[in-house]
Amino acid sequence: MVSLKTLLRALAMLTACSPLSISSSLAQNEPFSFALIGDLGYVPAEEPLVVNLLADLAKHPELAFVVHVGDLSTPRYACTNEHQDLRLRQFNSLPQPLIFTPGDNEWVDCHPGQGIQGFDPFERLSRIRKNFFPDDRTLGARRMSVMRQSANPKFSTFVENARWVQGGVTFLTVHATGSNNNLGRTPEGDAEHSERNAANIAWLRESFELAKTNGSRAVMVLTQANIFPDFPPYPGKPQKPNGTAEMQSALHEEATRFAGKVVIVHGDSHYFRIDNPFRAPRVQGVRPPPTPSNTMRVETFGTPDHHWLMVTVDPSEANVFTFRPRIVDANALK
């Protein structure tokens, strides 16, 4: 029987033969930058701010890629074909490759309980998968090949979970959303959550194993949901059972076992921050141990603040990542 480690080593060799990986490996020691955005344009009055932000990104064609961590607008707009198609056109107009991971506003929340009539969350999810993930390439005017979890027949539904390697960093998107990750509303939703959650955790664990096999210096996990309810501000009231608790536990385990840097990126609570989410709980009279020094959490800007975050990867730097908030002048409060 072939071991998982052997299979991952073979996968790494196959990946190394792809055009994307060849170009990445040639620049393995060269610094590069990319952008993080999400949670933008929640009301029609904010659409000009979205246009300003995208125009600012377009001034930086040197960016290796842009990642949007979900929520195309509020459910009132994000659930509609018209708004989804608008965002898709905007994403494809950018000069850089754009990677998207879905949020709750464009499918989970498309139901009467959110005041949204005439939509079915599962039909919306199917449409998102069809239109935003048609093949194994990113969106954007300059497209980039990625590995999709759907390449594995066992997880053929999950076209949205993507992975790519660049500059000694393993990047992956994981489709976990706000609104408790679609858990606790209906039996049908709970069944969908269970299947997708199992796929997400399998994708996380496989990606960390691949990062070890490839000798990656860092792993960046990108998702929509804020999975850390212990740290305010948090979007909404934490629910029980928590729809992202298993994902948080798996991430903690994998980060603890990984020798390099780990960065967890999300949106959801519209609060720009960089911190360490894995602090040990306080015990009365006992000094808390140091937090794991290899892990940090990054939350992107979100409405009403329409700006973006530039991330620079420098393999020669001990911390690998440098974060620079980019304030869009046209959107700044004067």
User: The domain 4-331: what is its CATH number?
Assistant: 3.60.21.10
Element (H, E) at 98: strand 98-100
Least confident of 5-9, 44-48, 135-139: 5-9
Digit-coded pLDDT (tens) for 193-211? 999 999 999 999 999 999 9
d(CA 214, CA 219): 11
**Contact status, residue 166 vs residue 39, Cβ threshold 8 Å:** no
d(CA 270, CA 273): 9
* pLDDT value at residue 150: 98
* pLDDT value at residue 10: 43
Angle separating helix axes 187-214 and 121-132, nearest 10 degrees: 30
* pLDDT value at residue 293: 85
d(CA 190, CA 184): 6
For the chain, percent of residues with pLDDT exceeding 70: 91
| 3-state DSSP helix/strand/coil % of the chain, to nearest 5 | 35, 20, 45
* pLDDT value at residue 246: 97
Digit-coded pLDDT (tens) for 46-61? 999 999 999 999 999 9
d(CA 245, CA 234): 14
Dihedral sign computed on CA atoms, order 120, 48, 270, 136? positive
Average pLDDT, the chain: 91
**Whether pLDDT at 289 is above 80:** no
- What Cα–Cα distance (Å) separates residue 46 from each residue in 40, 53, 99, 304? 8, 11, 22, 8
**Whether pLDDT at 138 is above 70:** yes
pTM, two decimals, is 0.90
Rg (the chain; Cα; Å): 19
**Whether pLDDT at 171 is above 50:** yes
* pLDDT value at residue 19: 35
Mean pLDDT of 179-183: 98
pLDDT-derived band at 30, boundaries 50, 70, 90: confident
Element (H, E) at 211: helix 187-214
- What Cα–Cα distance (Å) separates residue 262 from each residue in 93, 247, 257, 290? 31, 15, 11, 16
Mean pLDDT of 154-161: 98
pLDDT-derived band at 28, boundaries 50, 70, 90: low
**Whether pLDDT at 5 is above 60:** no
Mean pLDDT of 16-28: 40
* pLDDT value at residue 88: 98
| 29 compared with 44, residue with greater pLDDT | 44
* pLDDT value at residue 147: 98
Paired tokens of 313: 């990867």
DSSP state string for 35-85? EEE-S---SGGGHHHHHHHHHHHHT-TT-S-EEE-S--S-HHHHTSHHHHH
**Whether pLDDT at 4 is above 80:** no
pLDDT-derived band at 21, boundaries 50, 70, 90: very low
Instruction: Kindly report the backbone phi and psi dihedral angles of residue 322, in degrees, each rounded to the nearest multiple of 5, phi listed first.
Output: -125, 135
Is residue 220 helix, strand or coil? strand
Instruction: Kindly report the backbone phi and psi dihedral angles of residue 148, in degrees, each rounded to the nearest multiple of 5, phi listed first.
Output: -110, 145
Paired tokens of 90: 């905007």
| 62 compared with 24, residue with greater pLDDT | 62
Mean pLDDT of 263-288: 89
**Whether pLDDT at 2 is above 50:** no
Element (H, E) at 34: strand 32-37
> Token pair 């869009």 is at which residue?
328
Digit-coded pLDDT (tens) for 86-115? 999 999 999 999 999 999 999 999 999 999
d(CA 315, CA 264): 18
